Amino acid sequence: MEKKNTYYYSEFHNVFVLKQEGKIPNPVLKKKGNRSLKNEFSGRLDGDRIKYEFANTNQLLFEVTDSCNLKCKYCAYGEYYCNYYNRKNKNLSFIKAKNLIDYFLTFINSSLYQSFNKSLAVGFYGGEPLLNFRLIKEIIDYIEKVIPGCHYNMTTNGTLLNKHIDYLVRKNFQLLISLDGNEKNNSYRVYKNNSSSFKDILRNIKLIQERYPDYFKTNVNINSVLHNKNTVSDIFYFINKEFNKVPKIAELSPIGVRDELKEDFMQKHQNMAESLYKSENCSDIIEALDVEAPERKMLTIFLYDFSGNVFKDYNELFIDQNKVLKVPTKTCAPFSRKIFLTVNGKIYPCERVGHFLEFGRVTDTKVIIDFKKIAIRQNNFYDKLARKCLKCGRLRICTKCLLCEANNKKHIPICDSYTQDKEALGKYLATQLSQLENHPHLYDHIWRNIILE
């Protein structure tokens, strides 16, 4: 049996030291200083911080329509979920999109903007975004006049790509096309009359592959949802064989599921790690999926969080990270990743945040957003969970988004991952260190090839 090493870990220094027989740990590892968990995780947001994140966001995301020509059984806006507004086949107006762009311009033309040589991503979302193709073109025509050098992306169900692919290629769109595997695997993705969408989507993807092979290779990815009618193995081998692609595979989201439908939802839900490890060629699939494989993704997050060598931007190089006060949970600072505008003119920091929370809105004449109020509300959320967080064994390895956990009308964040197991951190660290010991090449591979957004 292979002998496993044992390590000492100092939370105060964030350093690992190999335990050696006959030697005691360096006394410095026992140093605790004056820092307590309560002090260390006492960080707070203020309006200025959120303004800064708004100015330096990575993406403007527009929900150009809430209409869709499909009726997928597990849709995030379907019968299982209760954390979104009622879909009314509504389109976003150009004037609202323009007003947000103009408002954003005032920030990137101010001293708050400190992003060097950044290319802004502009994304289009739905519903099925290609049902409002005219607005997509209008937004691009305008934004290219005022913010040169943007790049574009879209998530699409693939049914309308044959009509618009020439334009999308010309604008060098990054496309994420939804397909759950073969016809049986994809049987939850149906049209409004319950007929299969599979052949139409397959034909359109093949059309891109044949007409624009270089574009297809670099700009097209396939997104597959894991459920009870497919497996990781089914998805991987079908997508790989048909398109020579490695799919992005996602579990059904349990956030916002209606209480009365949870049992039915869980019958459709399938755990990705369990499905992956049941595969005959599990190790080959893991190598191909790379960071999309659960254990690789967890290892990557571990290296980012515990190496002490990751900086979000140049400004962080001038800050002693050991003195930065943290906030509980893994919640992003609002707008640090994207600014999302819905068809109703509501502003959110992400398309995954429930619609009961409002961060701002855009009218036909102006943008209304109170950064200070957003900070106060989020700090109040932290206060409601802080006492529980500080007792949780997953405190330092939390993956929960506070805003997603507050997806209810009472705006009370509820965490279903709380554990009193104080050894949870140790078990997590041991798992990651063992993975590095068993696969030492992963350390260099992750740093050289993988970027976490």
**230-241 per-position pLDDT tens digit:** 999 999 999 999
Q: What is the pLDDT averaged over residues 327-354?
A: 93
- Whole-number percent of the chain with pLDDT over 90: 69
Query: Residue 287's CB: how many other CB atoms inside 10 A?
Result: 12
- pLDDT band of 388, cuts 50, 70, 90: confident
> φ and ψ at 17, to 5 degrees?
-130, 130
> φ and ψ at 321, to 5 degrees?
-65, -25
- What pLDDT is stored for residue 32 in this prediction? 53
Lookup result for tokens 């096309």: 177
Of residues 213 and 329, more confidently modeled: 213
pLDDT at residue 426 tops 80:
yes
- Strand 15-18 and strand 248-251: the pairing is unpaired
Query: Residue 99's CB: how many other CB atoms inside 10 A?
Result: 19
Lowest mean pLDDT among 108-117, 312-321, 428-437: 312-321
Query: Residue 300's CB: how many other CB atoms inside 10 A?
Result: 20
Q: Extract the tokens encoding 89.
A: 């086949």
pLDDT at residue 92 tops 80:
yes
> Could you tell me the strand order of the sheet in which 59-63 lies?
248-251, 220-226, 174-178, 151-156, 121-125, 59-63, 338-341, 346-348, 360-362, 367-368
Average pLDDT, the chain: 91
| Residues constituting the chain | 453
Q: Extract the tokens encoding 130.
A: 């290609």
pLDDT at residue 409 tops 70:
no
pLDDT at residue 15 tops 90:
no
- What pLDDT is stored for residue 215 in this prediction? 98
- pLDDT band of 30, cuts 50, 70, 90: low
Q: What is the pLDDT averaged over residues 206-221?
A: 98
Q: What are 294-331's pLDDT values in tens digits?
A: 999 999 999 988 887 788 777 777 887 777 888 888 89
The CA distance from 13 to 30, in Å, is 10
Q: What amino acid occupies position 69?
A: N
Q: Please work out, in degrees rounded to the nearest 5, the angle formed at the alpha carbon of residue 375 by the alpha carbons of 370 and 378.
A: 125
